[in-house]
């Protein structure tokens, strides 16, 4: 399929170039020069985009720590491992063992989120991550796919000392 696409692009390009030969040599060389400048500028833009998208080493370390912690928290909620949840939570989080819920404040309101249970890891996908505005928080976003739709899970972390701690989650899954 890819070879066919390359072949078609080559044929179209040759047809366009052969159509340009009907113009005077001066116009043809200007067209070729303009075309070369556009290619150079496209390559420069692509280089700038690639440089801008390269995550820092610190970001990658924070992502690795919070992503690993996320999977362990999924497992701890599935298996009611309260001691692990207690050891990885931020100060403001409460683990309600009686109701299997995570309790936290969100914009001044108490949020009670049931433990996530029955996640099928073959249907779970990492969607993205990033720091909050002041850099003290980190969010990881997952998609949990169902038959014809998906739910989104937002895990929040906060840096306390040298480690990221679980700071709650929201979901529509």
Question: pLDDT by residue (tens digit) across 5-61?
Answer: 444 444 444 444 444 444 444 554 554 455 455 555 666 656 655 666 688 999 999
Round to whole Å and give the CA distance between 158 and 88: 11
Which pLDDT belongs to residue 24?
44
Of 2, 5, 25, 28, whose CA–CA distance to 16 is shortest?
28
Which pLDDT belongs to residue 30?
53
What mean pLDDT is reported for the chain?
80
Which pLDDT belongs to residue 127?
93
Which pLDDT belongs to residue 135?
84
Which pLDDT belongs to residue 101?
96
Which pLDDT belongs to residue 86?
97
For residue range 83-141, what is the model confidence (pLDDT) as tens digits? 999 999 999 999 999 999 999 988 889 999 999 998 888 889 999 999 998 888 999 99
Instruction: Tokens for 75, please give them.
Output: 């497992």
Residue 3 pLDDT exceeds 50: no
Which pLDDT belongs to residue 20?
44
How many angstroms from the chain centroid is the CA of residue 62? 13
136 DSSP 8-state letter: S
Comparing 34 with 62, which gets the higher pLDDT?
A: 62
pLDDT (average), residues 135-153: 90
């Amino acid at each position: 399929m890819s070879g066919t696409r390359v072949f078609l692009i080559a044929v179209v390009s040759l047809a366009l170039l052969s159509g340009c030969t009907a113009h005077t040599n001066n116009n043809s060389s200007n067209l070729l020069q303009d075309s070369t400048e556009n290619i150079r500028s496209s390559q420069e833009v692509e280089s700038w985009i690639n440089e801008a998208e390269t995550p820092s080493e610190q970001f990658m370390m924070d992502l690795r720590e919070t992503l690993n912690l996320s999977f362990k928290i999924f497992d701890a909620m599935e298996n009611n491992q309260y001691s692990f949840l207690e050891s990885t939570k931020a100060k403001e989080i409460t683990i309600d063992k009686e109701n299997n819920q995570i309790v936290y404040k969100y914009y001044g309101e108490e949020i009670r989120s049931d433990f996530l249970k029955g996640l099928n890891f073959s249907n779970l996908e990492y969607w993205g991550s990033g720091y909050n505005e002041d850099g003290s928080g980190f969010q990881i976003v997952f998609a949990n796919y169902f038959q014809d739709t998906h739910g989104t899970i937002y895990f929040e972390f906060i840096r306390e000392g040298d480690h990221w701690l679980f700071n709650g989650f929201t979901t529509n899954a």
